[in-house]
Amino acid sequence: MARIVMKFGGTSVADLDRIRNVARHVKREVDAGHEVAVVVSAMSGKTNELVGWVQNMPKVAGADHSIYDAREYDAVVASGEQVTSGLLAIALQAMGVNARSWQGWQIPIRTDNAHGAARILDIDGEDMVRRMKDGQVAVVAGFQGLGPDNRIATLGRGGSDTSAVAIAAAVKADRCDIYTDVDGVYTTDPRIEPKARRLKKIAFEEMLEMASLGAKVLQVRSVELAMVFKVRTFVRSSFEDPDAPGMGDLLNPPGTLICDEDEIVEQEVVTGIAYAKDEAQISLRRLADRPGVSAAIFGPLAENHINVDMIVQNISEDGSKTDMTFTVPSGDAEKALRVLGENKEKIGYDVVQSESGLVKVSVIGIGMRSHAGVAATAFRALAEKGINIKAITTSEIKISILIDGPYAELAVRTLHSCYGLDKS
């Protein structure tokens, strides 16, 4: 007998029929004698709809701005998961399975007070575990917890993955299964490159990079937690027949295992390609090249919660003036330009230029640590397709390249094939 956490994403619970199908997956594990906690997302599209309502409410109510109370945002957007957790409990009960729903505050899942992007601090799973031991399935609303101010807090978009892994760590589950609309983690997004291959295993570090660099199959924070707490996490499909052979396999279920790198026997140099859309590039021209200039630029941006990603500084010929180029999410570009404008004197630049709608494509693989020439292969392949590179950053296990938006899909496919990822 094992303890298993099963998480089902938005497309897996998109309507009543799919919720019934999810209940069959859960029943399979219950019938095999396992203790089960289930984490659900809202029905697909629901959270977007709720976010839209929140964003429109101030203006509809007569305000001349779209600013809203982040605590009320959380009260609204957390509701999608309340619906699916109740519905799944009802579906399970109808199949003769003992089940009940749990909202984040009922467990409770304690978070910090960063409403809209809260972090889980602690999960007191005692009551839930006692009931699981008595044979009751816990159906937990993902994406939500309880802040220190006693208000509902949500964990950032895609946060149900994090709820699931955190619960798996808290209840010391043997396994955490993330069920979604693809049957595992692929070498790149299978919706962009049909030749992408499913990976049997991927190392935590690689999955962390893939997720941070745009592969939305898992929320970044969930991978961090799985890595720190050594949660055996599988990504697998909810769309397969729940009773197909092998679906209930305890040690080797179908899907991709996220694991320590030494569990991977045949490590490739490059494991995958990720991409992130909607990047904006900002360039400050003719800055005084003096100590403190970077702090003068990035300090105010950080204070305004603007996430700066790639940074490139040109070394000027005579050492007096320099250019600084960096990227931010497109949604933050306007705010960044305003902050830079307000600090123009202090920073001391001549002109600022910006460009939105760019894409960052990234090549990821821990094998890069011990192989030279990986970056050169990417640059050559992109050049052959006439794709211009605007900025580059590298780390030990990844190369990120900024390009024009319209070339995103071509670049992903080009990089995917230049490392032979489409060949098994």
Report the C-alpha gap between 248 and 32 in whole angstroms.
8
Number of amino acids touching ligand ASP (CB under 6 A): 13
Question: By CB under 5 A, is residue 80 in contact with Mg ion?
Answer: no
DSSP 198: B
Identity of the residue, 42 or 378, whose beta carbon is nearer to ligand ASP in the bound complex: 42
Q: Which of 178, 141, 187, 222 is nearest to 12 (CA)?
A: 178
Report the C-alpha gap between 230 and 233 in whole angstroms.
9
- Please report, as ranges, the residues that interact with ligand ADP according to CB under 6 A: 9-12, 41, 158, 180-182, 185-186, 188-191, 210, 215-217, 272
Rule CB under 5 A: choose which of 80, 145, 147, 158 binds Mg ion. Answer: 158
Rule CB under 6 A: choose which of 125, 147, 158, 214 binds ligand ASP. Answer: 158
Beta bridge partners of 109: 123
Contact partner at residue 215 from ligand ASP, Mg ion, ligand ADP, none, CB < 5 to 8 Å by partner kind: ligand ADP
Q: Is the separation of the CB atoms in 401 and 378 below 8 Å?
A: yes
Contact partner at residue 21 from ligand ASP, Mg ion, ligand ADP, none, CB < 5 to 8 Å by partner kind: none
DSSP 119-176: -EEEE--HHHHHHHHTTPEEEEETTEEE-TTSSEEE--TTTHHHHHHHHHHHTT-SEE
Identity of the residue, 47 or 187, whose beta carbon is nearer to ligand ASP in the bound complex: 47
Number of amino acids touching Mg ion (CB under 5 A): 2
Contact partner at residue 188 from ligand ADP, ligand ASP, Mg ion, none, CB < 5 to 8 Å by partner kind: ligand ADP
Q: Is the separation of the CB atoms in 72 and 128 below 8 Å?
A: no
Identity of the residue, 158 or 184, whose beta carbon is nearer to Mg ion in the bound complex: 158
CA-to-CA separations, 268 to 47, 211, 366, 368, 369, in angstroms, rounded: 37, 19, 8, 9, 11
Beta bridge partners of 58: none
Contact partner at residue 47 from ligand ASP, ligand ADP, Mg ion, none, CB < 5 to 8 Å by partner kind: ligand ASP
Nearest-approach distance from CB 234 to ligand ASP, in angstroms: 17
195 burial class (0-12, 13-18, 19+ CB within 10 angstroms)? middle
CA-to-CA separations, 41 to 19, 89, 348, in angstroms, rounded: 11, 14, 48
Contact partner at residue 191 from ligand ADP, Mg ion, ligand ASP, none, CB < 5 to 8 Å by partner kind: ligand ADP
Q: Which residues of 228-265 are buried (b: 16+ CB within 10 A; e: fewer)?
A: eeebbbbbbbbebebeeeebeeeeeebbbbbbeeeebe
Residues 15-54 that bind ligand ASP (CB under 6 A): 41-42, 47
Report the C-alpha gap between 300 and 126 in whole angstroms.
44
Question: By CB under 6 A, is residue 216 in contact with ligand ASP?
Answer: no
Identity of the residue, 169 or 361, whose beta carbon is nearer to ligand ASP in the bound complex: 169
Q: Which of 205, 174, 218, 194 is nearest to 9 (CA)?
A: 218
Identity of the residue, 162 or 325, whose beta carbon is nearer to ligand ADP in the bound complex: 162
Contact partner at residue 185 from ligand ASP, ligand ADP, Mg ion, none, CB < 5 to 8 Å by partner kind: ligand ADP
Question: By CB under 6 A, is residue 365 in contact with ligand ASP?
Answer: no
Residue type, 215: A
DSSP 263: G
Question: By CB under 5 A, is residue 142 in contact with Mg ion?
Answer: no
Identity of the residue, 176 or 217, whose beta carbon is nearer to ligand ADP in the bound complex: 217
Question: By CB under 6 A, is residue 184 in contact with ligand ASP?
Answer: no
Nearest-approach distance from CB 177 to ligand ADP, in angstroms: 12
Rule CB under 6 A: choose which of 80, 145, 255, 272 binds ligand ASP. Answer: 80
- Which one of the spans 86-94, 129-137, 157-165, 263-271 is the region binding ligand ASP (CB under 6 A)? 157-165
> Binding residues for ligand ASP, per CB under 6 A?
9-10, 41-42, 47, 80, 142-143, 157-161
Residues of this chain that interact with Mg ion (CB under 5 A) are 9, 158
